[in-house]
Structure 1
């Protein structure tokens, strides 16, 4: 949600930010609606004041024996007119809020200009991509091991689902435990076990609604299945006023995530890259405005640390204006090397949303010794996508005989197992 006051103060800057997102100017329409709404508010207040004044005069007139009928008629007319004005003002408010809620966050000044992923800027590379002769993709490896089945999943649920069994199921669990231990023990995130079903307000607060309705799954009684734990974790501060001394708050959770993958027909149709259901370890930080930039770098480091410990080559890119998510002010994507595809693929997105989500959630804080409140800043990032990390382990640690070496860091989580075989 955008700050209407800042648009009033600097409409040119607002339109310039939208232009960087590839959108047309909106401040003119917004301010015209705002002006009409404020005019109605002023008129309503003036009528209300006159009604109160006339009501007092009626009593005085009656005491003095004067004819109060004209005043009675005036008050009756005002009472009839005021509800219509109030309704018009409310309708304009809903229209104005709808426009403000439909527009994406404005990019930070250091976000590079660009149209799509080809214009993202590489920040760093860590590790050297392994060269594997005849490298296989994860689904070939998993099916050959007899521990990954897309046919079995299709019988149960249809396309874009997977059944993992035995050691691969344990490897998926081990990866999630490993990630959580790093985020909680080393980076101070508090582990949370949140609901997987949320109400409209929660989905609106993190900006999944209304724009991305078709990307979500909804139950018959109106709940939304979470597309990421960002939704419940960020909404822990919905409609809250925190003390500045409490900040930053850091939450992490491993949850199933559910996505309809609307618009992804024909993309990654084989394998586990793009699924309707998958596990992810999510990180969410709630900060003061002066903390969020440093927290963004810290969160990205927390995600990168998982890949470093697993010995997986990766690169980190800064997303351009045309590739950023709706709520993001600035985003780093971490892309892991997949030998079977011969390319880097996204495994984490770490975003600073500024006060964009906090305004939608009415999430605020109060600085020590101050009466007024300010909006919080919210950040979120994958730490990491468990399924994609499983893919990366399978492809980077594949052996000529089709077995998979277990990375040393994961062996304590696998009961000491060193190799997964058919």
Structure 2
């Protein structure tokens, strides 16, 4: 069983579910929210449509465990929503429902459409609503009802219905990935508060551009990481890494002897509280597409200043997947040379780890070497950036996003294949 905490219609819910329990079944059978209907159970008919973190999604193909921490809204959660109330009235007036089985999902999808877009023709509304199926009405009444409410769109404060950029899934329908984010929809000039909304949008857009330029300006320099042979013995994976830093060894040691600073530079690593008597608690968080894991546990830190060496050991578990991990990281600093008046420090890292449970399959992947190289490069770049920052500057924690690494690795492998092809 997997423990989850989520918000459903504004109420916090704590429960334990099996990893394969669908959200629709959880809502209907555990919370008795039977307004969410189950039709095809393949994500096709749309009867099970709910809102997850503000974006509509199929609850029959969404695992409840994957919604840990999410904000769920079912048809029962729209009783006080003005736009939904108008849609319900329009559906009744236009005879847009007969048996009513598709209606909850149809209403949620219709509300999402009106929230995102306005001024659509009947044909365009049919296309946008094609992800929700009705076996009774022939869609004429449904299209008429949506068209009527869409014509009154300016009467609703659409800006208050915007959603967060991150969600568990895009809205269904054609070209969903090309839909402009809701917070950037052009608002009618007659909409109350529209000037304020547009100003907020422009401010947010300007801030994002300025932030992007700042990040580009602070982009860390690339550092080559050498990775030794990977060995697997009795379920334990061992490997070595080394890289060079153009900083004095004493300065590098001052930073790397601080476990909190090391954790902020290591992608995904977080320390919870201070280190006491060489012991610490923390977690390692990773995200690979829809797969998210957080290995929480405790570890020990052994420091050997005379040798410029530190050893960190730890073990923990991920409650979502039921997987466990243990490992050890040992690093030593060596002064290798001075080039053009710059002292260079070599960092040698020895890493060993083991995984058990569902996520253990990733430790046997042929991509382990590539992933470890990427993570090592990120760690080295973060260390270099921290050492290059002004004294007293705060180090921002590094996040581990393996999704972008996957694309980079795929591109690297493709380019390598092309090079081999043309150099035969």
Normalising by structure 2, what TM-score? 0.21
Q: Which has the higher strand share?
A: 2
Higher RCO (Cα < 8 Å, 6 or more apart): 1
**Richer in helix (by share):** 1
